[in-house]
Amino acid sequence: MIQIYKKKNTDFSKNGDSPIFPSSAVVNAELNGHGRLNWSTPLMIGKYGNLLRRRR
């Protein structure tokens, strides 16, 4: 599960404002360096569609 939080949300005890459940995810990380997350999830209309439009 990937937890997405709105910018002003400071309560991190819940599952976020829009949790996403990817069908696959791969993390590549370097020790003390950069990391990359590649994930895929089925396209969902509604709150996830709005999230995708804002990120472009």
| Residue 50: both structure tokens together | 């709005």
Average pLDDT, the chain: 78
**Other Cβ atoms closer than 10 A to 38:** 10
Count of structural domains, the chain = 1
Domain that holds residue 37: 1-56
User: What single-letter DSSP state applies at residue 29?
Assistant: E
Question: For the chain, how many residues are written?
Answer: 56
User: Judging by beta carbons within 10 Å of its beta carbon (0-12, 13-18, 19+), is residue 51 exposed, middle or buried?
Assistant: middle
- pLDDT value at 56 more than 50: no
* Of residues 19, 17, 56, the one with CA closest to residue 41: 19
pTM recorded for the entire structure: 0.46
Band of the pLDDT at 9, cuts 50, 70, 90? confident
